[in-house]
Amino acid sequence: MEGPEFRKHLEERADLSPRKREVLSLAHETLLPARVETWVGAGIPLVIGRREGYRITDLDGRELLDFHLNGGTYNLGHRHPELVRTLTEALADLDIGNHHFASEERALLARALVEKTPGELRYTVFTASGTEANDVAIRSARRATGRRKVVGLESGFHGSAGLAGAAGRDRTARAFLSDYPEEFVTVPFGDLHAMEEALAAGDVAAVLMETIPATQGFPVPPPAYLPGVLSLCREHGTLFVADEVQTGLGRTGQLWGVETFGVEPDILVTGKGLSGGLYPISAVVLGTRAGAWLREEGWGFVSTFGGAELGCRVASRVLEICSDAATLEHGRQIAERMASGLEEICGRRPFLRGVRRVGLVMGLETAHPTGAIQLCRALYEHGVWAIFAGFDLSVLQWKPGLLLDEATCDEALERLDAALAGLEPDPAFEAGRA
């Protein structure tokens, strides 16, 4: 739709305030025409205004519980008061810093990450985004092994630029002629046999996978899967890269998702929540072999904004909060409370056919091929913001925050129940799955 036509369409929408129409129209003109049209067309014209804790306010004034958390960016809530204070105080004496030199803030956070990650990880490289962090992980594995090939999951997402964009499902990379089909291979999730075949030739630098694939709606790995992949990697000289951008920082009940599955990766990637939702920062934590290049190439990777000192201050506090035993215990308890509420709703609402869950990492399976879009909209109308899984539109990502309190947990369950009341299962879809 062209700009003037879309503007006219917005003007006909009585449900939108003039301010919201203005923002949507401006974003359509100069920012994201297709995306804005999609949300407006789907009946979810969300423009986030005020935000605090696990609540956001739509520009129209309606309050929503945030159960998307932008992939875990707001794991600790929006504008966590202590993190806001940390950042504000840091502004009194810090700025981004100069990435060419040693820095106290970066070194302290690097050490904290090395200490708090499992196994023998010993170096940290900072980046601004998770995409870049995955890119560095791939480059490190290639350099360490002298091999180019990377195996990922068909259901994997690791970012939309560079090498990370070509890994996992590469539909978007292909659309921009940025795929590398010879070098990036995918296998189905949960299939150890396919993984073994992919690694058998001994030419694979890295297996790069999310501990629980988010964009696929968090399918739970069978207990033997991740340890099985790790042992295949060891057998074939391949490095195991755990993308913990969504599953790290306490969301599974342990600090890192891989710990829940008893796996010690060669490289661990973290991002999103590390920022406290306040200052962009992501990191790759590398083992001795993967990080050998850091002893050889002083400038093997440079990033002006990677490890910005302001971000390091915030991230250091985020890491302390997320790894605190009481925080992790709270997360486990709230996850149990949420899970039993979901189970109860599941028994009464046939549209909700199942719940996938590891700690606070949750996917709601609906009984309709595009049920998660319907549920996303119904939830929006009932005061909850939660997003469908992009690679499986029957599953809704359901992300309770790590610090969620019991009352808000129960409130979210009530709103979910009300949203489900108006939704009908698709018998053909159900029959097809049987």
Ligand X SMILES: Cc1ncc(COP(=O)(O)O)c(C=O)c1O
Q: Which residues bind ligand X (CB under 6 A)?
A: 71, 129-131, 134, 157-159, 210, 214, 243, 245-246, 271, 282
Alpha helices in 42-161 (DSSP H): 81-90, 104-116, 130-145
CA distances for 202 relative to 231, 263, 302, 349, angstroms: 14, 21, 30, 49
What letter represents residue 227's amino acid?
A: P
Closer by beta carbon to ligand X, 71 or else 228: 71
For ligand X, which is the closer residue by CB, 345 or 364?
A: 364
Sign of CA dihedral 319, 238, 231, 208: positive
Classify the C-alpha dihedral 50-52-57-63 as positive or negative. Answer: negative
Q: What are phi and psi of 393, to 5 degrees?
A: -75, 0
How many helices and strands (H and E) does the chain possess? 17, 15
Q: CB nearest ligand X: which residue?
A: 130
In angstroms, give the least distance from the CB of 161 to ligand X.
8
How far, in Å, CA of 258 to CA of 254, rounded?
A: 9
Q: Write down the least CB distance from residue 167 to ligand X, Å.
A: 10
Nearest approach in angstroms of CB 245 to ligand X is 4
Name the residue nearer to ligand X (CB basis): 131 or 238. Answer: 131
277, 78 in Cβ contact below 8 A?
yes
Q: Nearer Cβ to ligand X, position 186 or 246? A: 246
State which residue, 363 or 383, has the beta carbon closest to ligand X. Answer: 363
CA 96 to chain centre: 25
Amino acid type, 380: Y
Closest CA to 318 of 259, 273, 253, 252: 273
Other CB atoms within a 10 A radius of the CB of residue 227 amount to: 15
* DSSP letter assigned to residue 431: H
In angstroms, rounded to a whole number, what is the distance separating the alpha carbons of residues 65 and 152? Answer: 33
CB of 156 to ligand X, least distance (A): 8
What's the closest the beta carbon of residue 390 comes to ligand X, in angstroms? 10
Q: Are 70 and 38 a contacting pair, CB within 8 Å?
A: no
C-beta closer to ligand X: residue 172 or 231: 172
CB of 10 to ligand X, least distance (A): 28
Q: At closest approach, how far in Å is the CB of 421 from ligand X?
A: 31
C-alpha–C-alpha distance, residues 72 and 392, integer Å: 19
| C-beta closer to ligand X: residue 6 or 261 | 261
Cβ proximity to ligand X: between 103 and 246 the closer is 246
Rg of the Cα atoms in the chain: 22
Q: Which two tokens stand for residue 319?
A: 């890491």
In the complex, the smallest distance separating the C-beta of residue 211 from ligand X, rounded to whole angstroms, is 9
Nearer to ligand X (CB atom), residue 97 or residue 271:
271
State the minimum distance, in angstroms, from the CB of residue 251 to ligand X: 12
